Amino acid sequence: MRAVIVEQWGGPETLIEKDVERPEPGFNEVLVRVHAAGVNPVDWKTRASGGLIDWGTVPAVGWDVSGTVEAVGPGVSLYRPGDEVYGMPLFPRQAGGYAEYVVAPARHFAPKPAALTHVEAAALPLAALTAWQALVDTAGVRPGERVLVHAAAGGVGHLAVQIAKARGAYVIGTASAGKHDLVKELGADEVIDYRAVRFEDVVGDVDVVLDGIGGQNAERSLKVLGAGGRLITLPGPDDVPAAPDGVRAVWMLVEPDHLGLREIAALVERGALKPVVDTVLPLAEAAKAHKIGEQGRTTGKIVLTVA
Q: 3-state secondary structure string, 82-146?
A: CCEEEECCCCCCCCCCCECEEEEEHHHEEECCCCCCHHHHHCCHHHHHHHHHHHHHHCCCCCCCE
Residue 239's pLDDT is 87
Cross-strand partners of 64: 38
Residue 299's pLDDT is 93
Cross-strand partners of 230: 208, 248
d(CA 143, CA 210): 16
**Do 150 and 217 meet the contact criterion of CB atoms below 8 Å apart?**
yes
Q: Which CATH architecture has domain 127-251?
A: 3-Layer(aba) Sandwich (3.40)
This prediction has a pTM of 0.95
For 272, phi and psi rounded to 5 degrees? -95, -5
Mean pLDDT in consecutive groups of 10 residues from the start of the chain, 307 residues: 89 93 96 98 87 60 96 98 98 92 98 98 98 98 98 97 98 97 97 96 97 94 96 92 93 97 98 97 97 92 94
Q: Specify burial of residue 243 (Cβ count, 10 A radius: 0-12, 13-18, 19+).
A: middle
Residue 61's pLDDT is 86
Residue 307's pLDDT is 78
Residue 7's pLDDT is 81
3-state secondary structure of 39: strand
Residue 259's pLDDT is 98
Residue 51's pLDDT is 62
* Fold (CATH) for 2-124+275-305: Quinone Oxidoreductase; Chain A, domain 1 (3.90.180)
For 43, phi and psi rounded to 5 degrees? -65, -50
Burial 187-219 (b: 16+ CB within 10 A, else e): bbebbbebeeeebbeebeebbbbbbbbbeebbb
Residue 16's pLDDT is 93
CB proximity list for 49: less than 8 A, separation 6 or greater:
9
d(CA 110, CA 147): 28
**Do 23 and 104 meet the contact criterion of CB atoms below 8 Å apart?**
no
Residue 58's pLDDT is 58
Residue 27 identity (one-letter amino acid): F
Q: Specify burial of residue 170 (Cβ count, 10 A radius: 0-12, 13-18, 19+).
A: middle
What DSSP state is assigned to residue 233? E
For 133, phi and psi rounded to 5 degrees? -65, -30
Q: Which of 253, 301, 307 is nearest to 122 (CA)?
A: 301
How is the chain split into domains, by residue range?
Answer: 2-124+275-305, 127-251
